[in-house]
């Protein structure tokens, strides 16, 4: 399904720069017109291969170009993935996302191993997501055939700022992988990272790119940089939480049916700031106390916050019977009064298990 509406950067600027409370109010209205605003989708993230990545993403401690990423782990075994899937299910997640610190699949053996992991996740009755770097069309088709529901590949920032953060692959490389994912009929999870030293115009430029994908990404993770010692962006000035609220609200307005996920950096937010993000239309989080190798909100603190805000996990509506090879996706309810004819959405999430102890504890939590 193609988008009919294309958004100009000027239009997005106008939305983004409204008085904050007007922006949040508008986003909250859009959220309620398109989705159940009381439901939060929760997913678990599992790193299946950590460190030693050939890419040079400036924020990432898994890059072999930076000191913390020089140590790498091996691809974990299938049994570990099965255990993680069971634990994720028992913890109330409805999706398990597996991530590998690769530029792309190194060989067919790795691809076949990941396909087996995807089948194991599906057997547990969970939705599956993977983030493995760049994909060829053939690889994307094979992952789809194995049952992969979502592929995560972030655009990270605006096209203009991108080369200040990553030099080993281009923005177009990323768009090409997203196209392969779409051609394989999988759902897209793609978002970015705020606080990379970019200008506000770059945050708007990122949203412009995402909102104008056709169809729009079903899942839009919005990360805030967690600065990591000995990486190029270790000393970047942090952004104000208001910028996160603005980005979440604008994403919600532009992509009313997508899952807008608060991802890395949520742990640093107060309950009040998180509540403002939920009000602004965030409806997805990573649950679990680890995100790949950085801390995430403790499950208990999420439970308490959700109770205070009257929110509940989406998984409560999902079938829980394991050993199903096909589980119906629960998509956000269709719009009754759409603001604009935008493509169908979805989402994914990540949580984390503490693992790969040989890797720096300061490794990153940003996928792809």
**Residue 127 bridge partners (DSSP):** 95
**What is the closest distance, in whole angstroms, from the C-beta atom of residue 8 to ligand SF4 in the complex?**
29
**Residue 193 bridge partners (DSSP):** 223
Residue nearer to ligand SF4 on the CB measure, 43 or 264? 264
> Which residues are designated catalytic?
53, 57, 60, 97, 129, 189, 261
Q: By three-state DSSP, how is residue 29 classified?
A: helix
Interface residues with ligand SF4 (CB under 6 A)? 53, 55, 57, 60, 62-63, 101, 133, 364, 366, 368
**What is the closest distance, in whole angstroms, from the C-beta atom of residue 364 to ligand SF4 in the complex?**
6
Question: What is the rounded distance in angstroms from the CA atom of residue 24 to the CA atom of residue 282?
Answer: 11
CB contact at 8 A, 154 and 191: yes
- Cβ partners under 8 Å of residue 317, min gap 6: 39, 330
Nearest to 366 by CA among 115, 186, 190, 218: 190
DSSP string, 268-290: GS-HHHHHHHHHTT--EEE-SSE
Residue nearer to ligand SF4 on the CB measure, 220 or 249? 220
Residue nearer to ligand SF4 on the CB measure, 171 or 366? 366
Residue nearer to ligand SF4 on the CB measure, 50 or 284? 50
Nearest to 127 by CA among 148, 111, 103, 102: 148
**What is the closest distance, in whole angstroms, from the C-beta atom of residue 359 to ligand SF4 in the complex?**
11
**What is the closest distance, in whole angstroms, from the C-beta atom of residue 270 to ligand SF4 in the complex?**
27
Residue nearer to ligand SF4 on the CB measure, 97 or 101? 101
Residue nearer to ligand SF4 on the CB measure, 55 or 267? 55
Q: Is 14 exposed, middle or buried (0-12, 13-18, 19+ CB in 10 A)?
A: exposed
Nearest to 353 by CA among 59, 99, 127, 64: 99
**What is the closest distance, in whole angstroms, from the C-beta atom of residue 37 to ligand SF4 in the complex?**
31
**What is the closest distance, in whole angstroms, from the C-beta atom of residue 165 to ligand SF4 in the complex?**
9
Nearest to 94 by CA among 131, 129, 47, 43: 43
CB contact at 8 A, 345 and 259: yes
CB contact at 8 A, 327 and 131: no
Question: What is the rounded distance in angstroms from the CA atom of residue 355 to the CA atom of residue 349?
Answer: 18
**What is the closest distance, in whole angstroms, from the C-beta atom of residue 261 to ligand SF4 in the complex?**
17
Q: By three-state DSSP, how is residue 227 classified?
A: coil
Residue nearer to ligand SF4 on the CB measure, 133 or 192? 133
Nearest to 206 by CA among 224, 193, 196: 193
């Amino acid at each position: 399904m193609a988008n009919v509406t294309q958004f100009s950067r000027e239009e997005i600027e106008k939305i983004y720069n409204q008085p904050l409370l007007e922006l949040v109010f508008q986003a909250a209205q859009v959220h309620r017109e398109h989705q159940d605003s009381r439901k939060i989708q929760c997913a678990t993230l599992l790193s299946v291969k950590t460190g030693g990545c050939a890419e040079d993403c400036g924020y990432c401690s898994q890059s072999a170009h930076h000191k913390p990423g020089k140590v790498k782990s091996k691809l974990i075994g299938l049994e570990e993935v099965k255990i993680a899937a069971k634990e994720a299910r028992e913890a109330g997640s409805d999706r398990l996302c597996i991530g590998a610190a690769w530029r792309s699949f190194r060989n067919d053996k790795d691809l076949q191993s990941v396909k087996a992991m995807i089948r194991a996740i599906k057997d547990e009755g969970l939705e599956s997501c993977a983030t493995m770097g760049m994909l060829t069309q053939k690889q994307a088709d094979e992952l789809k055939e194995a049952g992969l529901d979502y592929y995560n590949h972030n655009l990270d920032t605006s096209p203009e700022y991108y080369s200040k953060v990553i030099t080993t692959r281009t923005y177009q490389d990323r768009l090409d992988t997203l196209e392969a994912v779409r051609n394989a009929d999988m759902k897209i999870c793609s978002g970015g990272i705020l606080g990379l030293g970019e200008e506000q115009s770059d945050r708007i430029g990122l949203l412009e790119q995402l909102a104008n994908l056709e169809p729009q990404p079903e899942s839009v993770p919005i990360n805030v940089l967690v600065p990591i010692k000995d990486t190029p962006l270790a000393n970047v000035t942090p952004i104000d939480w208001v910028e996160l609220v603005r980005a979440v609200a604008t994403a919600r307005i532009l992509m009313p049916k997508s899952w807008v996920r608060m991802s890395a950096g949520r742990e640093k937010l107060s309950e009040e700031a998180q509540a403002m993000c939920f009000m602004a239309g965030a409806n997805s989080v990573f649950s679990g106390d680890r995100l790949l190798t950085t801390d995430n909100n403790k499950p208990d603190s999420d439970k308490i916050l959700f109770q205070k805000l009257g929110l509940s996990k989406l998984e409560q509506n999902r079938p829980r019977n394991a050993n199903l090879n096909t589980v119906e996706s629960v998509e956000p309810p269709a719009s009754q009064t759409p603001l604009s004819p935008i493509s169908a959405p979805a989402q994914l999430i990540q949580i984390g298990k503490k693992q790969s102890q040989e890797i720096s504890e300061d490794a990153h939590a940003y996928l792809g």
